[in-house]
Amino acid sequence: MGWRRCEIWLETELTWFRERPDGQASALSLHAPSFFGLPAQTLAVAVPNGLAQSRQRRAELRRRRNTKKARAAALVLGPVVALTVAVPRLGGSARAGEALEDDPPSLTLRLGPAGPEVSEELEPQLVARPDEGVASARSRAAKQTQAPAYREIRWHRATSRGLPYAGALEAGTQLPLEGRDWVTWDPVSDSVPNEPRRLFGNEHTIRTVVSVLAAYRGAHPDSPRVVVGDISFRGGGPMEQHRSHQNGLDVDVYYPRRDRVLRAPAATAQIDRELAQALLDRFLAAGAQMVFVGFSTGLHGPSGLVIPYPNHENHMHVRFPPRPA
């Protein structure tokens, strides 16, 4: 046992101390010859059990080391690097409607020769239907990306700069607060509609979202309108409740609800999984780079494109690849 600051060690025999077997404080013996002449009230002072305190200190050090190891285990290296630890928004101790502290996929990046980057040449894997080939799937995806000419949308040729979690947007296009196939949702106030300033995206992003929602609603005419959440600010940059959504390439789309209510699901049991899967498949076919979904949603897709992630039990986070300016 080594020396520690603020500790005093006495050269004496252990028999001069009376250490209680229950591990509590010890008392000095009144008959120890070395303490002859000291008043009795002085010897009655309890002396801490050094062995018990030493064990407590070692246990605390072990706990701290284990905590550091557990934190380091959250750093996962692979085709996709995620540098964040998140608590699921729904389930566990989280309350329905509780604001997200961060957006896990916002720190998603790829490793290139020059360091972290987002691949601009990533070609999405198309999901071919059982009765069609790859060529037919590509043709179908091309038709779906041709958005209807909504008069209320003022199109601008945008430039998305930087990464989704460290970027900017120039000349973004604003998605209207509502349309024939969608309504918008404000995650800050948990209400419809969203704030107009939170609905700017790259022109390609807005066109793809509008066309996918139109095709989805055309295939499911009885389905409710789709609830769309945050995209980006007019100039991009940091957005509260997110670390991503900074360059107009990210869109939050809330899962369709079984009760057809146009608001974010409060629990996974409220999700219409069949309609949610159909919506996800259309985003993949339209060229989404990644789609993040909740672990307990039961949604699936090609590995590397559909990624289960915390904080996505009530919405899918659709990310589109950058386009040349």
Quick one: pLDDT band at residue 84, thresholds 50, 70, 90? very low
Task: Answer for the pair 120, 324: CB distance below 8 angstroms, yes or no.
Answer: yes
Neighbours of 233 (CB within 10 A): 20
Per-residue confidence (pLDDT) for residue 98, from 0 to 100? 38
Per-residue confidence (pLDDT) for residue 133, from 0 to 100? 59
Per-residue confidence (pLDDT) for residue 64, from 0 to 100? 73
Q: Is the pLDDT of residue 172 over 60?
A: yes
Q: Is the pLDDT of residue 214 over 90?
A: yes
What is the average pLDDT across 33-52? 54
Global pTM?
0.57
Q: Is the pLDDT of residue 111 over 60?
A: no
Q: Report how far apart, in Å, the C-alpha atoms of 192 and of each of 49, 182, 184 are.
A: 63, 11, 6
> What's phi and psi for 306, nearest 5 deg?
-105, 115
Peptide bond into 193 cis (omega under 30): yes
Q: Between the ranges 18-22, 45-49, 133-137, 224-228, where is the mean pLDDT highest?
A: 224-228
Per-residue confidence (pLDDT) for residue 52, from 0 to 100? 66
The tokens describing 259, both together, are: 């009760």
Q: Which domains does the chain have, with CATH numbers?
A: 14-69 (no CATH), 81-319 (3.30.1380)
The tokens describing 149, both together, are: 């000419």
Percent of the chain clearing pLDDT 90 (strictly above): 49
What is the average pLDDT across 2-10? 58
Quick one: pLDDT band at residue 151, thresholds 50, 70, 90? low
